[in-house]
Each structure stands twice: as C-alpha cells, then as structure tokens.
C-alpha cells in the first residue's frame, strides 16, 4: 500500500454553489461512475436520500472515491446549508484537504463566512474552484475579487477561463502554460488549443503572479527569483505545493460542473498539489492512560488507529461506522479497541462507500475513508485502535440546537416507537437533541433549524414508520408568593357514615430567595398533633407544590413552617392530614400575593456590525435586557437575557433580520416574575384549557 498515492478531501461550499454537481462531474470524468448524475433531476449518486432529492440539496455527507493519475482519491461531499453545517465540520475533521467551491455568479452569499470560518479553524490545505462559469452574469475575476475582499484570502489563479457565461468553453492552465477546450457533450474530454492572442497579456501577468507566489514559499527559490533567474516547472510545482500546505495561499481554478467542463483540470490540481497523509506527517492524539500527547505515523506498518466521524443507521442493514484510518492497516474480521468507551469491538467486513452502495475491501490504510458494519458500542467521535497501542483522537465541538418542537404522535400508542426511532436517528445525527420536559411531560425535539427538524421527522417516518405532528412547546411557568402569611389554618372534617376524617394544620408560609426551591420545617411543640402524622403533611405539601392554585403550574421558592394543629384520637389519619395540608397550602399561597414566574434564557447573538442596532431594538421589543457586547468572529457578540416565551422561534426571526448572517446560542438562565398584564392572560388561558 503506497500512502503517497492517497488523497482525501472534503468538498465544502455555501448551499447552491454546485459542489455536488462538481463531485458528480469528477467521478464521471475519472470513470468511477458510468453516467453523470444530476442533482436537479434526482439522479445524483451522492444526493440519494429522499429528503435530499425532495429539496435538491445535500442534508448529509456523502462518500465516494476515484482513481486519477495513479492516485486513489477519497471525496466527502458535505452539505452547505446552515441547518447541516455540523456535517461539514465533521467531514473537515476527518479530511486532509478541502475543496472550497464558490459560485461565479453570486460568490459571497450570507453563509459563505460561516462555511469559511469552519475551514479556517481546521488549518487544512485548501484549493478553490469557481463553479458555474457558463451561467449568465458569471465572472471569474469578479468572483475572485469578491471572495478576497469578503474573506481576506490570498488567492492565486492557476487557470483562467476561455470565455465566460454562454461562451465558456475551456481554460488556460497557467502551470503547464497550455489551453484546453472541452467538449460540449458532458463527456469531459479536453482538446489542446492555442492560447488566444487577446489573452496573452493577461496570461503572462497571471503566470508571473503564480511564479512569485511559488518563489515566496521557499527561501532558495525566492533568492533565485529575486536574482532574476527562471524557475523550472518542477521548482514552480514544489513552491506552489509548499505554499498550499502551509496555508500561505489558496490556488483557484474554474469550471462548469453541470457541463462537465474543466473537472479534469481540478483533479490534476488535487492530485499534484494537495498533500498525501505521509506528507502531512504524524497525527496527534492522547494516550488515555497517561494523558500525554502522542503521535501516530501515517504508515501501513504502524499500529492501527482511526476516528469514527460519522454513523449511518438503517432499519434493515443496521449501523455503519465511517472511519478515517490514521495509521496501520485495517483488515476484515478482526477486533479493535474503542479507547473512548474502553471496550473491545469485533467487526466483520470493511467497505468502500460509493454513494448509497458499499463495496467490500480486503484492507484499508492511512488516509482512507471506509465503513465498518455493526459495531455495538461505538458512536460518532470515538477512536478505534490497536488494543496494545491505545490512543484517543480529539473530535469537534458540535453546534448546540437552536430550535425546539414538541412531538405529538399521529397514531395512539406510537409514543414508545417515537423515542426508539429518535434514539436510532441520534446515532446518525448527534446534533439533534431529544428530551422529555419533566414539568410539561412533552417530548421535545431540538435541531439546528426548520429544515433540520423537518428532515429528521421525514426520516423517522420513512425509516421507522412513525408519523408525528410538530407543536410549539408549552412554556414551563412556575408559581410563587411575594409576601409571608402567618398562621394559615385549615381544618379538614368529614362525617358521612362509617369512620370520619379529621385533621387541622397551622402553617406559616413565607417566600424564599429565587431558585432556592421548596422548604418544609416541622416546628411542632406539645402533643396536639402526633408525630406519626407529619409524613402525611409532607406528602400533601409535595403534591400541592406540583400544581399551584393560580394556573396549575408548580409552586417554587416557598417555605412552609408546620408549627401546630389539632387531631382526633379516632378520626385522624395520615390521609386526613395530607388532605388538610394540601388545602391549607393552597389557601396560604392565595393569601400571600401569588405570582407567575417565567424562564429567562441567556442569548449570545453574533451578528455583522451593520445589524447590531436592529438586533438590540428587537431584543428590547421582546422584553429582553442587553447585558453586554464584545467583538466576536465576523461581527459583534451581543449577550442578552430574554424570556423564553419571546424567543421560541428566534432562529427563524434572526435569519430574516440578518439575511442568514447571524448565529446564536441559548442557555437556561433563571426565572423572573411575569408582568401582571401578561400573567392575567396566561392564567386565563390555563384555566380555560383546564375547563
């Protein structure tokens, strides 16, 4: 196994840039597929899930491989939509390189900054392709300039277009100094042509620019360049490769994916200029026993290790764990140690992924992206390794969910099936969160946006036959009191044939500091109430705090001091004291200025500078308080405290206000009193619902 011939890369772009079409063109050009799939007509090899076909967009990372110029190339086609950026993050985590695709017509879209920040944080070598050169209003230099300005990148064109828009027909390769025209039949065939006379000056200038960038990557080359000596083609290639690997600059090519024009040039660029695993060197991990950093050589002879960065689940074929091999040679029918779970896992076959199909493999080595079937304990983010040479590789922090819905089964009795199917879907997509609200008893599904939630619900229906309706979750309000009430007395007396019931309790009721919960103090003196009835009082109070007298919400931050009462030697019982304490508590709460409390969340909203005023105004209109502001990545980070009731669909509103450029996180902060005018409405609605 020759590791120097392995390349892998993540295809990343803002949604709608045509990266899946580009992947289809590359696969077809390299004869890895027999026909070129198209996203628009649902024939794509990579966008094969029904949820993707329906929306004409990727919702999950797809995998394939090809061979080009003796190199084995593994590609990961990651979604570009905001809802699924976690998929791009995990694909980049497993990749050695990135192919960044931009749209020649509209290169800087709202999410371009978000996609780029993920690539930038990875520190991986990048090549860029300006796609859709055949479309109306496409402009290569215009796109390059726009990306340079928006993202602050050092871009170096390695090819120039022959024609633009409907006249786009080929490219000038600035490295080889040759021009190629491509067939108009989608075959990807290239025909050498002369460099047009009217492009000669532009080609010469761009070529000089390219050589200058190549020279600056190497001190020896730079000295030679400054002394006016010509660099050889090999020296230019070497200098460019060093510059790309170090992140000094990004080479830019151009193409039309749907017409399969210049996909072959891009493949040349990937194979020639992107590094193989052995060129990138040892991979860092942690020794789980000592906690020390350790490295693994990307050699087929080293102890085997790899990172499971994605999981696919299927109700019929079971679970497929997608692993990036970092060291050693993976062979079928063996065991690996899961260093995260501290368990040994047996596995059977190894597969190469080809869209929705899998091809069995005899072995897999460093740099390869393969699948292993039916691991029992292993989940996304786990490291698998040789039991005698244990290592743990770091994973990425996944984005927190920002939109939550309550799920209601369409069919009775499906409640348990919902929980089971969502648990399976969580294996495949760890960015969804499923929990039951202990107060409202609702099953809540949280995700990264409306499309993410919708696609999850569709997948649940398709894969597990479970259909649900989505509803806005109920707000978990609380009730409390604002003043103390001394000597609240309630007598429970029942005489209706047979044994009677008698109990009298005397309570002092007082408020506690916010967030301190309920407190019961037994302060009895004398023998008016036998001590064996105290547990009945406690049970009654516990039940009473579960449903307050105002609107049926839990009562919090209240202290009850049980200091006296009366009993009857025959008619008193634990149940009688329980009933008395429930009613005494309700009476006391209603006399101690009861009020409603609502949950307050902390929002951290990062938006471009030009949107700050609008966001602050909007926060104020939602009864929020802006607590502070500080510079964030790509704008200002505004920290605010806002009632949960006002921001349940904030993600959709923020997207509308910032054209998709804003991001936010939300966390529970504390409870605060609801303003009286709103409290009245909430109480009236609760009573109406109960009635």
Q: 235 or 26, which is more confident?
A: 26
Tell whether pTM > 0.95: no
Q: How far is CA 612 from the centre of its chain?
A: 25
What's the mean pLDDT in 466-479?
95
Q: What per-residue confidence (pLDDT) applies to 235?
A: 83
Q: What is the CATH number of domain 409-471?
A: 3.30.70.870
Q: What per-residue confidence (pLDDT) applies to 43?
A: 81
Q: What are the start and end residues of each CATH 3.30.230.10 domain in the chain?
A: 479-592
Q: What per-residue confidence (pLDDT) applies to 57?
A: 85
Nearest-10 crossing angle of helices 263-273, 19-29? 80
Residues 23 and 38: beta-carbon distance below 8 Å = no
Choice among 75-79, 127-131, 221-225, 495-499 with the minimum mean pLDDT: 495-499
For domain 479-592, the CATH architecture is: 2-Layer Sandwich (3.30)
Q: What per-residue confidence (pLDDT) applies to 497?
A: 66
As a whole number, the mean pLDDT across the chain is 92
End-to-end CA distance of the chain: 74
What is the per-residue burial (b if ≥16 Cβ within 10 Å, else e) of 330-365?
beeeeebbbbbbeeebebeebbbbbbeebeebeebb
**Model confidence at 315: pLDDT above 70:** no
What's the mean pLDDT in 124-152?
94
**Model confidence at 341: pLDDT above 70:** yes
Q: Is 160 helix (H, G, I), strand (E, B) or coil?
A: strand
Pairing of strands 71-77, 178-182: unpaired
Domain 3-280 CATH superfamily: P-loop containing nucleotide triphosphate hydrolases (3.40.50.300)
Q: What are the start and end residues of each CATH 3.30.70.870 domain in the chain?
A: 409-471
**Model confidence at 361: pLDDT above 90:** yes
CATH topology of domain 596-687: Alpha-Beta Plaits (3.30.70)
Chain position carrying tokens 């101690």:
592
What's the mean pLDDT in 275-291?
93
Give alpha helix (H) positions in 429-561.
Answer: 450-464, 534-546
**How far apart (Å, rounded) are the C-alpha atoms in residues 72 and 65?**
7
Q: What are the start and end residues of each CATH 2.40.30.10 domain in the chain?
A: 283-385
Residues 417 and 460: beta-carbon distance below 8 Å = no
Q: How far is CA 110 from the centre of its chain?
A: 18
Q: How confident is the model at residue 566 (pLDDT cuts 50, 70, 90)?
A: very high
**How far apart (Å, rounded) are the C-alpha atoms in residues 98 and 76?**
9
Q: What per-residue confidence (pLDDT) applies to 589?
A: 97
What's the mean pLDDT in 179-203?
89
Q: How confident is the model at residue 500 (pLDDT cuts 50, 70, 90)?
A: confident
Residue 310 DSSP class: E
Residues 50 and 461: beta-carbon distance below 8 Å = no
pLDDT tens digit sequence for 607-654 = 988 899 999 999 999 999 999 999 877 789 999 999 999 999 999 899
- Which residues 6+ apart lie within 8 Å of 107 measured at CB? 130, 142, 143, 146, 147, 150
**Model confidence at 175: pLDDT above 80:** yes
**How far apart (Å, rounded) are the C-alpha atoms in residues 422 and 445?**
9
Q: What per-residue confidence (pLDDT) applies to 352?
A: 94
Residue 256 DSSP class: B
**How far apart (Å, rounded) are the C-alpha atoms in residues 78 and 118?**
12
What's the mean pLDDT in 341-356?
93
What's the mean pLDDT in 498-525?
93
The CA-based dihedral angle spanning residues 382, 386, 390, 395, taken in that order and rounded to the nearest 10 degrees:
-20
Q: Comparing C-alpha atoms, which of 396, 443, 455 is closest to residue 58?
A: 455
**Model confidence at 436: pLDDT above 80:** yes
**How far apart (Å, rounded) are the C-alpha atoms in residues 111 and 100?**
13
**Model confidence at 506: pLDDT above 90:** yes
Q: What are the start and end residues of each CATH 3.40.50.300 domain in the chain?
A: 3-280
Q: What is the CATH number of domain 283-385?
A: 2.40.30.10
Q: What per-residue confidence (pLDDT) applies to 541?
A: 97
């Amino acid at each position: 196994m020759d590791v120097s011939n392995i390349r892998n890369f993540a295809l990343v772009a803002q949604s709608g840039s045509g990266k899946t079409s580009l992947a289809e063109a590359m696969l077809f050009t390299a004869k890895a597929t027999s026909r070129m799939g198209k996203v628009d007509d649902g024939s794509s090899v990579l966008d094969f899930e029904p949820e993707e076909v329906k929306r004409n967009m990727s919702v999950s990372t797809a995998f394939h491989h090809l061979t080009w110029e003796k190199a084995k190339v593994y590609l990961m086609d990651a979604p570009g939509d905001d809802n699924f950026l976690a998929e791009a993050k995990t694909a980049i985590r497993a990749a050695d390189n990135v192919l960044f695709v931009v749209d020649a017509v509209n290169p800087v879209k709202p999410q371009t900054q978000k996609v780029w920040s993920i690539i930038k944080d990875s520190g991986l070598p990048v090549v860029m392709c300006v796609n859709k050169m055949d479309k109306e209003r496409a402009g290569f230099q215009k796109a390059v300039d726009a990306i340079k300005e928006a993202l602050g990148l050092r871009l170096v064109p390695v090819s120039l277009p022959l024609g633009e828009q409907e006249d786009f027909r080929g490219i000038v390769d600035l490295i080889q100094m040759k021009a190629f025209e491509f067939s108009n039949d989608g075959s990807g065939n290239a025909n050498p042509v002369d460099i047009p006379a009217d492009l000669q000056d532009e080609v010469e200038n761009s070529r000089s620019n390219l050589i200058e960038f190549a020279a600056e990557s190497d001190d020896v080359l730079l000295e030679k360049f400054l002394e006016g000596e010509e660099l050889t083609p090999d020296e230019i290639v070497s200098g460019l490769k060093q510059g790309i690997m170090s992140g000094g600059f990004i080479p830019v090519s151009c193409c039309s994916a749907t017409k399969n024009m210049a996909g072959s040039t891009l493949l040349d660029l990937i194979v020639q200029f992107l590094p193989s695993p052995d060129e990138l060197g040892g991979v860092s991990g942690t020794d789980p026993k000592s906690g020390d950093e350790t490295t693994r050589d990307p050699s087929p002879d080293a102890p085997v290790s790899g990172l499971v960065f994605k999981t696919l689940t299927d109700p019929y074929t079971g679970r497929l764990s997608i692993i990036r091999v970092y060291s050693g040679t993976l062979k079928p029918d063996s065991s690996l140690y899961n260093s995260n779970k501290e368990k040994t896992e047996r596995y059977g076959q190894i597969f190469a992924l080809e869209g929705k199909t899998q091809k069995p493999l005899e072995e897999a080595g460093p740099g390869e992206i393969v699948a292993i079937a039916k691991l029992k304990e292993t989940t996304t983010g786990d490291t698998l390794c040789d039991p005698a040479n244990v290592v743990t590789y770091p994973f990425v922090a996944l984005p927190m969910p920002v939109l939550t819905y309550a799920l209601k089964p369409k069919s009775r009795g499906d409640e348990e099936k919902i929980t089971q199917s969502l648990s399976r879907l969580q294996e495949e997509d760890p960015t969804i969160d499923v929990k039951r609200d202990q107060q409202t008893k609702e099953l809540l599904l949280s995700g990264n946006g409306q499309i993410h939630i919708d696609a999850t619900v569709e997948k649940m229906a398709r894969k597990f036959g479970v259909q649900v309706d989505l509803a806005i979750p109920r707000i978990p309000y609380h009730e409390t009191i604002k003043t103390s009430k001394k000597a609240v007395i309630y007598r429970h007396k029942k005489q209706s044939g047979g044994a009677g019931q008698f109990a009298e309790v005397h309570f002092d009721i007082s408020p506690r500091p916010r967030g301190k919960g309920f407190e019961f103090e037994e302060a009895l003196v004398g023998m008016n109430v036998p001590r064996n009835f105290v547990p009945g009082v406690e049970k009654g109070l516990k039940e009473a705090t579960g449903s307050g007298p105002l609107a049926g919400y839990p009562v919090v931050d209240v202290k009850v001091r049980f200091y006296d009462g009366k009993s009857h030697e025959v008619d008193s019982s634990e149940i009688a004291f329980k009933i008395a304490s429930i009613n005494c508590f309700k009476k006391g709460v209603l006399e101690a200025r009861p009020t409603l409390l609502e949950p307050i969340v902390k929002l951290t909203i990062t938006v471009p500078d030009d949107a700050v005023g609008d966001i602050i105004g909007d926060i104020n209109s939602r009864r929020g308080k802006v607590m502070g502001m500080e510079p964030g990545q790509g704008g200002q980070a505004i920290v605010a405290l806002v009632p949960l009731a006002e921001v349940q669909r904030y993600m959709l509103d923020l997207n509308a206000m910032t054209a998709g450029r804003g991001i936010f996180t939300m966390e529970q902060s504390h409870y605060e009193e609801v303003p009286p005018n709103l409290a009245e409405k909430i109480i009236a609605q609760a009573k109406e619902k109960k009635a």
